[in-house]
Amino acid sequence: MLNANKYALIISFFALWITVNFSFEHQQVIGFVVIFLFGILHGANDLALFQKISADKNNIPFKKIISYYIGVVLLGATLFYIFPIVALLLFILFSGYHFGEQHWNRLDVRNNTTVLALFQTFYGLFILFMLFQFHELEVKTIIFQISTVSISTLNLQYITIAIGILLVLLGSIVNSINTNFKSEIILNVFYLLVFGIIFKTADLIWAFAIYFVVWHSFPSIKEQTEFLYGTFTFKNFKLFFKSAFIYWTISLIGIATLYFLFKDKEIFNALFFSFLASITFPHVVVIIKMFNKNYSKLSK
């Protein structure tokens, strides 16, 4: 994983070169393209993952799995339509846990799972709110477009500091109960500094794309491929891509339709994040189950 993060650092600093040499408009276009191609891909194999997860237990029929998945996506979309501010808060919370879990999935989570889950959540939330505070005006505009709720008086910097304090407190508890925490902490604090540089320098969409794709999607694709096929090789990645292709294509068509309908309107960013949120809810659940299955294997 350290070797993979070395490549992530190299790609991130190349991405910063793009930040310096391209306008904000071009950064946005590149960011959306990268998210569409790779960010969406990392969540396109959820059905195959869920099928493998359920195979050893009750072997749920594939049609039933699809109906569950579509049902959760539609529920998320409905929630955004009826209670957008609630859906947005849930999306941020789910994403915080999901991102934190990705960075800290090498911890021994067989004991004290609640404390570790809280720590992972606040680590991910700290990353998100670093991004939010560096692009406060844009973020507040998008939130208003999604929810029609104004948070113009809310100080995102104070929230980020509060999350950071809670993260340190939770980290001290995790350090006392988890044997391999010390070996992870220095690098992950360093990564936070790298993310801060990226978020402060790049446009909102491009900054999000760098983190979401390079630091989250690529490692997740690797882990999913290993879970499905045993090892990460180019041959197995092709199997992963083949399995995900139809769902990836459907997602691309859906989001491309939104783009061509609303590309000249400010509301597109809001629609984009709402779409992303709707497919995030079931994806987070599937990845949690995948990691839990890996942990149960280790405990045997």
- pLDDT score of 163 more than 70: yes
Res. 28 pLDDT band, cuts 50 70 90 = confident
Contact (CB, 8 A) for 157 and 133: yes
Side chain identity, residue 206: W
Does residue 132 carry a pLDDT above 90? yes
Domain edges within the chain: 2-294
Angle of helix 156-177 versus helix 136-147 axis, rounded to 10? 100
The single-letter DSSP state of residue 107 is S
Confidence of residue 298 (pLDDT cuts 50, 70, 90): very low
SS3 57: coil
The DSSP string of 128-175 is HHHHHHHTHHHHHHHHHHHHS---TT--HHHHHHHHHHHHHHHHHHHH
Range list of H helices, 56-112: 62-82, 84-103
Higher pLDDT, 288 or 101: 101
pLDDT at 184 over 60: yes
Confidence of residue 42 (pLDDT cuts 50, 70, 90): confident
Determine contact, residues 56/227, Cβ cutoff 8 Å.
no
Weakest mean pLDDT among 120-124, 145-149, 156-160: 145-149
Mean pLDDT of 53-62: 66
234 Cβ contact partners less than 8 Å away, ≥ 6 residues apart: none
**Rounded Cα gap, residues 124 and 215, in angstroms:** 12
Burial of 110 (0-12, 13-18, 19+ CB in 10 A): exposed
Q: At what angle do helices 267-298 and 46-55 cross, to 10 degrees?
A: 20
Q: Is the dihedral of CA 140, 141, 146, 147 positive or negative?
A: positive
- Asked which of 13-17, 52-56, 250-254, 279-283 is least confident by mean pLDDT, the reply is 52-56
pLDDT of residue 257: 79
pLDDT digits (tens, 9 = 90+) for 81-117: 788 888 888 888 988 998 998 888 777 655 567 888 8
Which tokens belong to 229?
Answer: 């096929």
Amino acid identity, position 198: I
pLDDT band at 268 (very low <50, low <70, confident <90, very high): low
Q: What percent of the chain has pLDDT over 90?
A: 27
Least reliable range by pLDDT among 55-59, 120-124, 128-132, 259-263:
55-59
Using the predicted structure, report yes or no on whether residue 121 has a pLDDT greater than 70. Answer: yes
Does pLDDT of 249 surpass 70?
A: yes
Exposure of 219 in the CB half-sphere (CA atoms within 13 A): 25
Give the pLDDT score at 3: 61
126: nearest Cα among 160, 153, 93, 155? 160
Look at residue 296 and tell me whether its pLDDT is greater than 60.
no
281: tokens are: 């809810």
Tell me what the mean pLDDT of segment 258-276 comes to: 67
